[in-house]
Structure 1
Amino acid sequence: MFANSRIKRRSRASSPTATRLAAYPAARVEISEEQRQDIKEAFELFDSDKDHAIDYHELRAAMRALGFEAQKSEVLKIIRDFDKTGKGLLQMDDFIRVMSEKIAERDPLDEIKRAFELFDDDGTGKISLRNLRRVAKELNENIDDQELEAMIEEFDLDQDGEINEQEFIAIMMDDS
Structure 2
Amino acid sequence: MSGPEPNGIVERTRAQTLSLPVELSVEKIQDFQAAFSIMDIQSKGFVGPEDINQVAQAADMVLEENEAQLLLGSADEDHSGGIDMREFISIMTTPINQQDLEEELRATFRVFDKDGNGTINASELKRFVRLWDSELTEDEADDMIGQADPNKTGSITYDAFVQFLLHT
TM-score (norm 2): 0.42
